[in-house]
Amino acid sequence: MSKPPFNPLAHQPAQPTVRMPGQVAGAGFKPKAGPTPAEIHQALHQGGALFAAKRFADAERIAKLILQFEPKQADALHLLGLVTLAIGDAAEAEKLMLKAAKIFGKPVAVLLVNLGNAARKQEKLEKALKYYQQAEDANPRHEDVYLERGILFNDARRFRDALQQFEKLLELNPDSLAAYSGAGHASSELGQFRQAIAFCERALTKFPDQPIELLAMIAISYERLSELETAIAAAEKVLARKADHTACLRVWSKATRRLAKRDKDILGRLRARLEAVDAEAMSLNDGRLIYSELAHVCDELGDTDAAFGYFQKQNEKTSADAARIDLDRTSFLAEVESYLEKFDAALLQKIAQNRKSAGAAAVQSRAPVFIVGFPRSGTTLLDQILDANPDVQVIEEQPMVRRLCDMAAELPGGLAKGLANMTADQRKRLQDLYTRELEKHGADFSKPVIIDKMPLSLVQIPVIAAVFPNAKIILALRHPADSCLSCFMQDFEMNGAMLNFTSMAGTVSLYDKVMTLWQRYEAHLGLEVVEVRYERLISDLRGEVEPVLRFLGLTWNDAQSDPAAHARARGTIRTPSYAQVTQPIYSSAADRWRRYERHLKGDLPVLEKHIRHFGYEL
């Protein structure tokens, strides 16, 4: 999924909740023997006001001064903990606030919320949730419980849980701008773009100044819904107030480009406006957005050299932003390399024998179905076509197999040995876990077929095969050079897997590793597999899809002939391909790599064996 261009919550550090109001006193608090309770109270008010004004050093000085006289003054410890959290030492902040909590002796909601924030800053999410729950128990109407817990869930990508928290906050306070913004963001991430718009429009009736972040979210959501003229009007409303609002400039350009249908004059004007922007002077995120859109405009103009250069700049910004926040670049690649090392032919044959010997008792009445493939191989188009069948539900890109892998890794002997020696009880527990994950992500079990679409679950096929002996695999294939080029061109959300696509060399290297794994799995695991080729899908949709339907025990439905109409009606496409699948099928992306061949020459030798293996041509 592409990185959301606007997120008012996730990019903010956890902010301490302040409940010590007051104004700065004139002369301040002077140390003297035996300050009176009134003087301490006044100093606490002054410290709270300084903290709220972000004068952290001054607030810290006052808190420490109070503690010189009264080392067990709970409010002063709380204030010092808030300051310590604000300046970046969350662990020490938690210690200070725990001391305050012990002195108070009874649960104090505001203190418990701030303890939750301190735990959240340390990425101790379960501990943070425990503190927030204690705060809710102490005062169920304390608004900050739901705000901070909602932010935690948004940051953890638990968007349904986040939405629930923001809706609860709106029940308590219908005038909370943060709640509307958070609910809109969570809805958008869930693919519920109309609901996101509704939250924003409700908020706009309450805030006469029309907060620009809500107007921007409306524009972004309409573009995601492919209501392009409405998106342009909404973006222009923002740009009239803030001409350099990058997210809305991108929305305006992208929606205009999609309507232009490769009109050279319109594309030329878009290019001129975007190139007039000083992307290098912007933040890394904003610069990335401009370069990404410029690259696509140039690609549609046929200027492949300029387009490739802008895609490189887009990816340089992504890479620099990931380095800035110290995003883990290595864990996914290390996992792939670990699978290459551990899951050799001998181990895969043991897993195959184990699942075969499990017999009918291990087979689920509903055969799990998985769409896998290297990213940008047509998986989103395929999932729209299949989801249009009334007997099918496709669940898009949720970490259900990841949860399965995490639990399987706890089997005796670790993941590899555990899969090879899996017992009936272990298999049943893992199957039940997966069913609960399906439920959590909205599975409709009245549908005969539920499909889990997560392209890079391809890496974890041994887990799928071991847990589900009757699993059905739909493999999406595309010319390896086209698939890799498209990954390099895509403005993906930053995560450990997608960061491999910030260079062509990294993209091609990952493709080589992942598809080498696939070929090994297919040779030794005895999988039930059907292939779907992107090139045939866009030239003969029904002819390519009907074998898949037979594989699933289904028949053709005429609604499947128009995936663009289904995608627009569905309105919940969360993947980077939403703009492509909401328009009629086109063939311009097939063999696109040949236009960029001179930029790919150094990488094609690595792909050649896969190109030959899958029956493509150089």
Calculate the alpha carbon distances from 352 to 457, 526, 527 in Å.
18, 7, 9
Residue 143 lies in a domain: yes
Instruction: Give residue-wise pLDDT tens across range 297-323.
Output: 999 999 999 999 999 999 999 999 998
In a domain, 552, yes or no: yes
8 A C-beta contact, residue 388 and residue 563 = yes
How many Cβ atoms sit within 10 Å of the Cβ of residue 92?
15
Considering only the C-alpha atoms of the chain, give the largest distance between any 2 of them, rounded to a whole number of Å.
90
Q: Is the pLDDT score of 3 beyond 90?
A: no
- For strand 392-396 and strand 369-373, is the pairing parallel, antiparallel, or unpaired? unpaired
SS3 breakdown of the chain: % helix, strand, coil, rounded to 5? 65, 5, 30
Number of Cβ within a 10 Å radius of residue 327: 14
pLDDT over 50 (residue 23): no
**Conformation bin of residue 591: beta by default, left when phi > 0, alpha when psi is -120 to 50:** left
Q: Tell me, yes or no, whether 576 lies in a domain.
A: yes
- Interval 348-374 mean pLDDT: 89
Distance CA 560, CA 551 (A): 16
Q: Are 251 and 224 in contact (CB under 8 A)?
A: no
Closest Cα to residue 201, out of 187, 217, 190? 217
The residue whose two tokens read 């061109």 is: 489
Q: Could you tell me the two tokens for 316?
A: 């340089």
Let me know if residue 89 belongs to a domain. Answer: yes
Domain that holds residue 467: 331-584
- Quote the tokens at residue 70: 């009264």
Domain count, the chain: 2
H or E segment and range at residue 369: strand 369-373
Point out the domain boundary residue: 102, 130, 156.
156
Query: What local confidence, expressed as pLDDT, does residue 579 receive?
Result: 46
Q: Does residue 557 or residue 572 have the better pLDDT? A: 557
Q: Any idea what the CATH number is for the domain that residue 145 is in?
A: 1.25.40.10
Measured distance CA(202)–CA(207) in Å, rounded: 9
Query: Which amino acid is it at 221?
Result: S
What pLDDT does 362 receive?
A: 76
DSSP string, 114-129: HHHHHHHHTT-HHHHH
In-domain check, residue 454 = yes
Q: Which residue has the tokens 């004004």?
A: 53
pLDDT for position 528: 96
Query: For residue 191, what pLDDT is reported?
Result: 86
Q: Which string of DSSP letters, residue by residue, matches 259-274? A: HHTT-HHHHHHHHHHH
Q: What is residue 245's predicted lDDT score, i.e. its pLDDT?
A: 95
How many other CB atoms are found less than 10 A from the CB of residue 549? 21
Of 349, 353, 347, 497, give the one whose Cα is nearest residue 415. Answer: 347
Residue 483 lies in a domain: yes
State the CB neighbour count (10 A cutoff) for residue 503: 16
Domain end (from 135, 156, 177): 156
Q: Is the pLDDT of residue 428 over 80?
A: yes
Q: Alpha-carbon distance 527 to 223, whole Å? A: 40
Residue 337 lies in a domain: yes
Within a domain: 402: yes
Q: Are 476 and 534 in contact (CB under 8 A)?
A: yes
HSE value, Cβ hemisphere, 13 Å, CA-based, for 491: 24
Give the tens place of pLDDT for each residue, 487-541. Answer: 999 998 878 888 999 999 999 999 999 999 999 999 999 999 999 999 999 999 9
Percent of the chain past pLDDT 70, that is, above it, reads 91
User: SS3 for 103?
Assistant: helix
CATH code where residue 537 lies: 3.40.50.300
Choose the final residue of a domain: 124, 156, 188.
156
Three-state DSSP class for 450? strand
By CB atoms closer than 10 A (0-12, 13-18, 19+), residue 75 is: buried
pLDDT in tens, 112-122: 999 999 999 99
pLDDT at 6 exceeding the cut of 70: no
Q: Among candidates 541, 519, 539, 540, which has minimal Cα distance to 529?
A: 519
